[in-house]
Every structure is written in structure tokens, then in C-alpha cells.
């Protein structure tokens, strides 16, 4: 029982590490999208497009890098596929492309056993977090490249593209928030696993010289408490925990 509890605690810690990597990459997409949106609004307001091409290319490159982020050589957003899930190498590749064709990720989601019959399903797919952003970058690619001053037509088209970009940012933000909730759950599970391990170690230490029947009774009591704790935790987090307690 103690070994199982420690193993589940280790699993929760590894899950926390993976979720932190998701957070870092999704946050990069969100931050770069927000920065680009502000830059576009400034260009629309002033008519000055100096540096706008570079800002767009940089934001696209960082999004591409984030969507193709890895953990231990495995694509984070790959959905079970071993190939980089985002194909286009430069923004010009998006022109005329169906947004769905930009992605090669699968649909599988990972699951981590963090308690007795208690699993946490996690993972974000590249097309989920990136499709709306790709639509915005497609529009930007079609409008540009930009000279020092925007034409009236470019300014009008940029307003539409900026609105698409905001939609993309909203989608990214949603998945980042979902991932953040799972991070908080993983942290709670790690804390509880450590606490249970301490309790079980104490039970074993106190009963080293006791009769085996008493040891068995104490361990059974702790196991019952542990299962009850998982049951309550699962109910409180039913939106993202798969509860297999029976």
C-alpha cells in the first residue's frame, strides 16, 4: 500500500511537470498574439507599418515553435502522433491552405493514474489551440507585405484580421485556463500523496513490534480514509477528473 501511494505521488509530480510545459508553450502563443494585436492596432491608428512585417513573422515563428514543442522527444500537442503537429514553416505557406491541413496531430489524450481507480485525463491538441490563430495569420499573409505606410485598403483589411486574431487569442486563453486548473489539481494530488505516505510510514513504524492483526487493521483503516478522500476530491473536480471509484 505504501509503495503504491508513493508511486501515485510520483505520477502526480510527473504530471505536474508535463502540465507546466503545456503552460509555457500555450502562454507563449497567448503572449505573442496579444503583443501582435496591439502592434496591429497601433499601425491602424497611425498608418505607420514600419516593423509590422517583422512583428507578424516573429509571432508566427514563435507560435509554430510552441505548437511543435516536445517533452522527451514526444510532441506535446501531437495527440499520440510522433510527427511535429504543425506543418507550415513560414507564414506565406498558409496562403490558400485549408486551416485544417496545417495540422497533423492525432486525437489521443493521455491519462495519468494518480490514485486508487482515480485517473486524470490531460493534453491539448495542436489544432484545438491553433486553428483560430492560423485563420488570423492567413488573413495577415494575404494582406501583406506592408510598406512603411498603410494603404486605406490594407488598414481596413487589418481591422478584420485583428478581430480574427482576438478570436484566436480567446481560444488560446481558454485552453490555457483549462490547463491551469489541471495544474492546480496535480499540485493538490501531490500534497495529498505526500501526506498519505507520511501517515502510512507512521503506521508502519508504530506497529513494527505489534501483532500482525493490529497492523492489518490500522492499514485497512488508512486505506478506507484514503479512498474516501479520493472520492470527495473526484466529486469536487468532476469536470476534469475521470472517476473510476466503485
From 16-30, 120-134, 189-203, the region with the lowest mean pLDDT:
189-203
Q: Which one has a higher pLDDT value, 67 or 245?
A: 67
108 closest CA partner among 129, 96, 126: 126
Inter-CA distances, 4 with 15, 68, 244, Å: 16, 34, 17
Residue 190 contacts residue 112 (beta carbons within 8 Å): no
The H-assigned helical ranges of the chain are 2-46, 52-67, 126-143, 152-206, 212-236
Beta bridge partners of 110: 122
Q: Give the list of residues 6+ apart from residue 43 with CB closer than 8 angstroms, or none.
A: 49, 52, 146, 150, 158
What local confidence, expressed as pLDDT, does residue 91 receive? 95
| Higher pLDDT, residue 188 or 73 | 73
**Which pLDDT does position 125 carry in this prediction?**
95
Whole-number pLDDT of residue 241 = 41
* pLDDT band for position 15 (cuts 50, 70, 90): confident
Sequence-distant (≥ 6) Cβ neighbours of residue 170 within 8 angstroms: 132
Q: What pLDDT, on the 0 to 100 scale, is given for residue 51?
A: 94
Amino acid at each position: 500500500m505504501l509503495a503504491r501511494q508513493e508511486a501515485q505521488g510520483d505520477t502526480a509530480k510527473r504530471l505536474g511537470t508535463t502540465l507546466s510545459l503545456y503552460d509555457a508553450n500555450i502562454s507563449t502563443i497567448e503572449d505573442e498574439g496579444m503583443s501582435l494585436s496591439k502592434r496591429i492596432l497601433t499601425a491602424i491608428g497611425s498608418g505607420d507599418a514600419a516593423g509590422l512585417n517583422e512583428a507578424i513573422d516573429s509571432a508566427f515563428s514563435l507560435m509554430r515553435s510552441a505548437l511543435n514543442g516536445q517533452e522527451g522527444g514526444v510532441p506535446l500537442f501531437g495527440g499520440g502522433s510522433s510527427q511535429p503537429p504543425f506543418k507550415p514553416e513560414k507564414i506565406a505557406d498558409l496562403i490558400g491552405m485549408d486551416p485544417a491541413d496545417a495540422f497533423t496531430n492525432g486525437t489521443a489524450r493521455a491519462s495519468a493514474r494518480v490514485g486508487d481507480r482515480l485517473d486524470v485525463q490531460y493534453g491539448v491538441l495542436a489544432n484545438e489551440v491553433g486553428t483560430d490563430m492560423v485563420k488570423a495569420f492567413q488573413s495577415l499573409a494575404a494582406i501583406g507585405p506592408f510598406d512603411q505606410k498603410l494603404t486605406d485598403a490594407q488598414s481596413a483589411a487589418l481591422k478584420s484580421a485583428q478581430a480574427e486574431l482576438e478570436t484566436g487569442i480567446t481560444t488560446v486563453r481558454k485552453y490555457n485556463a483549462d490547463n491551469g486548473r489541471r495544474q492546480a489539481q496535480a499540485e493538490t494530488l501531490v500534497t495529498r500523496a505526500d501526506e498519505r505516505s507520511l501517515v502510512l510510514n507512521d503506521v508502519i513504524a508504530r506497529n513494527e513490534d505489534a501483532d500482525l492483526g493490529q497492523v492489518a487493521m490500522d492499514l485497512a483503516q488508512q486505506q478506507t480514509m484514503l479512498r474516501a478522500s479520493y472520492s470527495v476530491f473526484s466529486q469536487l473536480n468532476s469536470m476534469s477528473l475521470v472517476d473510476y471509484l466503485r
